[in-house]
Amino acid sequence: MTRIAPISDDPQFPQLPVVTNKAAMQDIFQRQLPGFAEGRLEIERLKLKRFTYTPGNECRLCYSLRVKDLDTGGEDEQIFFALVEPNGVTEAKYMQAQRETYVGANFGPAVHCLPQLNMILWRFPNDPKLKQLHTLVDRGALAELLQKYWQCFGLPPAAGLAGVTTTLIKYVPELRCTLRHQLALDPAGDLVVYSKTFGHRANSELVFKIMQALWKAPVFQSGEVTIPEPLFFVDEMNTLFVRGLEGVNADERLAALDLDRTAAVIGAALAGIHQCRIDDLRHRPEHYMMSQLAAAEKTLVNFDSAYKPGVEAIIRALHEKHAGLTHVAPAPIHTAFRLSQWLLVEGKLALIDFDTFLLGNPISDAASFVAHLLYLSIKGEITQEQCLSAIRHFCRAYAADAPWGLPADVLAWQTAALLVSEQAKKCIRLAKKNCRQTVGQLLSLAVNIIERKILLAQ
């Protein structure tokens, strides 16, 4: 469940206090959605599962409804994706949404418009940019698809598919969706696979090739770290399938985790990833981070003009230092490298996200991991002492296994930049709880790192 902070007044989105209020939206849905308004369906509970917001520009939400059918007594969870637009929903856009809806009503309408909120709603698995979802959640259609690729599972010749049960794992409307499929095998046994499907702008074939390259790489054949085994991809559906790994996110087990050892293992693994041969990656130019900082400045200042002097000073300092940084040759980079991308699986660590690999400065990945640890300490999930100790273990392990070492000036620059361009900006876009206080702490951290009051690589 998403817990968000109170949102400042935005003249482009006067409805934000309503659409982010669970009780208000439960009442609106119950009174106005077809099936609910007539009294056949009852909402027992509503959760806000996802919220992204750029001040003055866009707002997307995901609601989860616990619904009871009063006629049959049946109950189920139903997800709705909501797009809220500042200038209102046009009739043409709503008609287009109706034409492109494939899955009929179950618990609620497949698509619906709430004009008083400038909102269009899509009932999962309907999605305007993930139209292939209906195939992946339909048992018959999915079974037919899996049969086409049956040889990819490496099963005994006699094994057949007796049934399939699909569970939603993660859904980012219009962008991607991860599903867990438990395959019942004939004569006996189960096999768990995961599908990950993408919007048309993503290239699942390249993601699949990245996974294949990593799967065969020495770092993931060593036995201490692993990844899900890539099985096959379906080009026409922009979807890939991997063998299931059953585990829990490492950042959800912080209290029981040997954080120093975990950070060291991940540091060595990252150095190994950066030395993999991965073809066809797009190059991320060195000036990329400066453009991200400019975008973050706009978001922060639009949210609260009081941030303007501090953010401008940080960006100015980073700009002045940029030309003199130690040069590091480009390498394959993850671009979103953090503890939450790792699973704990039967005593091993497993990396699970490969969507955003590029060719770029490898120290940016190390900085991403460090920035995430610093953010965890600000949230109080780990102590400052635990954080700094884990950073030291991570940096030492990375530096020992990376041919280029770990230049302290580049790490500091990249970490400070990410605290502003990613962590602080994300606090606002996701309306994180206590976001004003957190943003202030993140900006102070960035200043201390730039001024070398905090030394990361020791």
In this chain, the answer to whether the domains covering 16-123 and 133-243 adopt an identical fold is yes
Report the C-alpha dihedral over residues 5, 340, 384, 303, rounded to 10 degrees. -30
Query: Are residues 8 and 304 in contact, defined by beta-carbon separation less than 8 angstroms?
Result: yes
Q: Which of 152, 94, 102, 93 is nearest to 124 (CA)?
A: 102
Asked whether residue 307 carries a pLDDT value surpassing 90, the answer given is yes
Q: How confident is the model at residue 8 (pLDDT cuts 50, 70, 90)?
A: low
Structural domain boundaries of the chain? 16-123, 133-243, 248-450
Query: What is the architecture of the domain spanning 16-123?
Result: 2-Layer Sandwich (3.30)
CA distance linking residue 393 with residue 201, whole number of Å: 38
Out of 270-279, 390-399, 428-437, which region has the weakest mean confidence (pLDDT)?
428-437
Query: Are residues 332 and 274 in contact, defined by beta-carbon separation less than 8 angstroms?
Result: yes
Q: Class of the 133-243 domain?
A: alpha beta
Q: Class of the 248-450 domain?
A: alpha beta
pTM of this structure? 0.89
pLDDT digits (tens, 9 = 90+) for 43-62: 999 999 999 888 777 789 99
CA distance linking residue 346 with residue 110, whole number of Å: 40
pLDDT digits (tens, 9 = 90+) for 58-105: 789 999 999 999 989 899 999 999 999 887 777 788 888 888 877 776
Q: How confident is the model at residue 7 (pLDDT cuts 50, 70, 90)?
A: low
pLDDT digits (tens, 9 = 90+) for 228-280: 999 999 999 999 999 999 889 999 999 889 999 999 999 999 999 999 999 99
Q: Which of 269, 218, 280 is nearest to 401 (CA)?
A: 269
CA distance linking residue 435 with residue 53, whole number of Å: 13
Give the contacts of 373 (CB within 8 A, at least 6 positions apart).
263, 339, 382, 387, 390, 391, 394
